Amino acid sequence: MIMEKRKLFYADAIKEALAIKMRQDDAVILFGEDIAGYGGVFGVTKGLLAEFGETRVRNTPLAEGAIVGEAVGMALYGLKPVPEIQFSDFVTTCMSPLVDLAATYHYRIGTPLPITFRMPSGGMMNIGNFHSKSLESWFVHVPGLKVVMPSTAYDAKGLLLASIQDPNPVLYLEHKKLYREIKDEVPEGYYEVPLGISRVVREGSDLTIFTYGAMVHLASRAADKLAHENIDVEILDLRTIYPFDEQGIGHSFKKTKRAIILHEAPKIGGFGAELASWLEENYFDYLAAPIIRLGSKHTPVPTNPVLEKNYLPSEADVIEAARKLMKY
């Protein structure tokens, strides 16, 4: 009899990773706003309190600065805290302990801080400016922080396990739109997806779309349509925004010589600008066309569904950019 391969939703893969690591290591502690009995706003941690108890799965006040400060203290005393910032937007209220203290501690003092900050991120859910932002590029700018954003359930589990094991502070950004929208094959048991290694989603020869998070799925839909126009698109899922996979990115760009950098965050000041500059500095001789960046508009995230759809990058934007590149 052929056994069907197991599939998990993105959210369930994250919960499974947390449970596996907590069974394996008593030093792993979860805490955040409403994460215990309620299971968090998106239900990702639901059921963990019953297995691990209130000492290891604990609610906190609505105080992100205190959450980050407590995480630093825990890590200094040998624990591996996994705090949740209920929405990544609220990280603005704890920038000083995160950026000034946690990110720099190993450099200043010599003590590693193995903290994994879980942060639901991104939009596409019509819940407005205070619950929909994509802020990853802010933290790429901060030495001492690693920034991760998975696009599949398989990667969500493996990258989270690798993040918790990492001795550095890691910002683990979970795209909230993907929680119950995507489902893919996820092995049982423990495995890690190494930080800093990209994934080739689709092989191609004409151009590469460099992307991550929910935009991977948009890029795949656009690539399917472009195939009908005989435009052969390669898609590279960065998975780790920083440190990014220099070797994998360079290999793909040398092959296709054309690049679209796609992310949900606003185009201006987004990570795409850094990556485009890096490609130009290192692979100028391979350029066959200008590097195109696609991101959201430079406005607050709208709540109205029609406005938010217009705010975000679209399949049509990707298709138009690909056609433009192929004219060179």
User: How far apart are the C-alpha atoms of 11 and 247, rounded to whole Å?
Assistant: 30
Which of 126, 135, 174 is CA-nearest to residue 152?
174
Residue 220 zone, left/alpha/beta (φ > 0; ψ -120 to 50; rest): alpha
What letter would DSSP give residue 99?
I
Which of 6, 33, 304, 7 is CA-nearest to residue 180?
7
Residue 92 zone, left/alpha/beta (φ > 0; ψ -120 to 50; rest): alpha
At 214, the amino acid letter reads A
Alpha helices in 58-124 (DSSP H): 64-76, 95, 105-109
User: How far apart are the C-alpha atoms of 328 and 280, rounded to whole Å?
Assistant: 17
User: How far apart are the C-alpha atoms of 3 and 52, rounded to whole Å?
Assistant: 31
Q: Which two tokens stand for residue 40?
A: 């968090």
Contact 244, 228 (CB under 8 A): no
Active site residues: 131
Which of 180, 155, 177, 158 is CA-nearest to residue 9?
180
SS3 at position 119: strand
Q: Which two tokens stand for residue 55?
A: 């000492």
